[in-house]
Amino acid sequence: MRFVLCVAASLGVAQMAEGQTGAMAADVRWRPTPAQGTLIHILVNPNSESTELGVTGSIAGQQLHFERDPSGEFRALAPIPVNAMETIPFSFAVIERADTSHRMIRIPVQPTEYRSSRLSVDPRFTSAPDEALQARIRSESARSAEVSRRSHFTPPLWHGAWIRPRPSPITSEFGVQRMFNGELRSRHTGVDLDGDTGDPIFASNRGVVSLVGDFYYAGNVVYLDHGRGLITIYMHMSEVLVEEGQLVETGEQIGRVGATGRVTGPHVHWTARYGRVSVDAMSLFELEIPERATSLDSGN
Ligand SMILES: [Zn+2]
């Protein structure tokens, strides 16, 4: 079966021939323009009035969570990894009672220009960590991954506009490629916001405190689970003011700026992650905020 892929500048639409049903008949759109290292919305219109429809899907190995808009269209948040190629496969299924039809389309991805920064640092920061330290880093990385796994089971908690954790300038952007002593060692997976030790750090949206840790790289760190796979992370705090399991509202103070972990000075490193994929937290501000017909969350 052949189909034509029409891609407009800011809105992609895959159109199907007549007479097709299920996933084959669905129109797929996305917005804003998918770019490396960003979050987007994928919209699947099943072109059916049926109330017994469901949509499932995945991108970059991450499960997506489709919710139906009042218009009948299904919408899910989706991550575009920083290393995505020119197109990224999006697999989905439209489920109607016992019928499931699967489809895969390729979503075009715009490249993002990432700067490189060259740092000269003490070799003890770039040499291989000893065994005990490797074990610590592995265990912290497993705890971090567990937050992502659990988030897929958390109901959507975030709502309304996103805010920066600090109303201060960005001192290092997401995606900067770091050359340590002339060697490419890592990519910056967060946004650094300026601050002095003790300055407040605010929750960028409503969520539940999923992890509070004292990590080797991140220092004193707070993970907020916003539900349905989306989390934000706040690193290098001098003081943490929340506890695991606590529900925090947008703008609520969760900690204070510090220089804990592997850093050279006080700031807050802010990361957004969908599932296991880190994306530019600034792309949260480009998302259209959907009206939620029903609220699944408690409180308010
Ligand atoms: Zn950083």
Tell me how far the alpha carbon of residue 132 lies from the centroid of ligand 1, in angstroms. 24
Tell me how far the alpha carbon of residue 101 lies from the centroid of ligand 1, in angstroms. 43
11 band by pLDDT with thresholds 50, 70 and 90: very low
- Between CA 92 and CA 107 the distance in angstroms is 12
In DSSP notation, 155-179 reads PP---S----SSSS-EEE-TTPEEE
Residue whose pair of structure tokens reads 């099943």 in the numeric block? 46
Mean pLDDT of 39-47: 96
Tell me how far the alpha carbon of residue 31 lies from the centroid of ligand 1, in angstroms. 27
7 band by pLDDT with thresholds 50, 70 and 90: very low
Tell me how far the alpha carbon of residue 187 lies from the centroid of ligand 1, in angstroms. 10
Tell me how far the alpha carbon of residue 172 lies from the centroid of ligand 1, in angstroms. 7
Tell me how far the alpha carbon of residue 109 lies from the centroid of ligand 1, in angstroms. 25
Burial (CB count <10 Å: 0-12, 13-18, 19+), residue 135: exposed
Tell me how far the alpha carbon of residue 119 lies from the centroid of ligand 1, in angstroms. 14
**Per DSSP, what are the bridge partners of residue 43?**
29, 75
| Cα distances (angstroms) measured from residue 107 to each of 73, 76, 78, 140 | 18, 15, 11, 34
Tell me which residues have their CB within 5 A of the ion that is ligand 1.
Answer: 190, 192, 269
Reported as a single tens digit per residue, the pLDDT across 257-272 is 999 999 989 999 999 9
Judge whether residue 23 has pLDDT over 90.
no
- Between CA 255 and CA 193 the distance in angstroms is 14
Tell me how far the alpha carbon of residue 86 lies from the centroid of ligand 1, in angstroms. 27
- Position 122 scores a pLDDT of 67
Tell me how far the alpha carbon of residue 256 lies from the centroid of ligand 1, in angstroms. 16
- Between CA 288 and CA 50 the distance in angstroms is 26
- Between CA 38 and CA 60 the distance in angstroms is 13
- Between CA 106 and CA 252 the distance in angstroms is 39
Predicted structure pTM score: 0.87
Judge whether residue 99 has pLDDT over 90.
no
- Position 280 scores a pLDDT of 97
Tell me how far the alpha carbon of residue 269 lies from the centroid of ligand 1, in angstroms. 4
Chain mean pLDDT for the chain: 88
- Position 288 scores a pLDDT of 86
| Cα distances (angstroms) measured from residue 206 to each of 79, 122, 246, 275 | 20, 39, 11, 18
| Cα distances (angstroms) measured from residue 205 to each of 198, 211, 233 | 21, 16, 12
Domain with CATH 2.60.40.10 in the chain: 4-108
- Position 141 scores a pLDDT of 96
Tell me how far the alpha carbon of residue 238 lies from the centroid of ligand 1, in angstroms. 15
Query: How is residue 24 annotated by DSSP?
Result: G
Query: How is residue 110 annotated by DSSP?
Result: B
Give yes or no for a cis peptide into 32 (omega within 30° of 0). yes
Tell me how far the alpha carbon of residue 46 lies from the centroid of ligand 1, in angstroms. 41
- Give the fold, CATH level 3, of 4-108: Immunoglobulin-like (2.60.40)
Domain with CATH 2.70.70.10 in the chain: 116-286
Tell me how far the alpha carbon of residue 150 lies from the centroid of ligand 1, in angstroms. 24
Mean pLDDT of 50-77: 94
Q: Write down the CATH superfamily of domain 116-286.
A: Glucose Permease (Domain IIA) (2.70.70.10)
Burial (CB count <10 Å: 0-12, 13-18, 19+), residue 284: buried
- Between CA 240 and CA 253 the distance in angstroms is 9
- Between CA 55 and CA 185 the distance in angstroms is 40
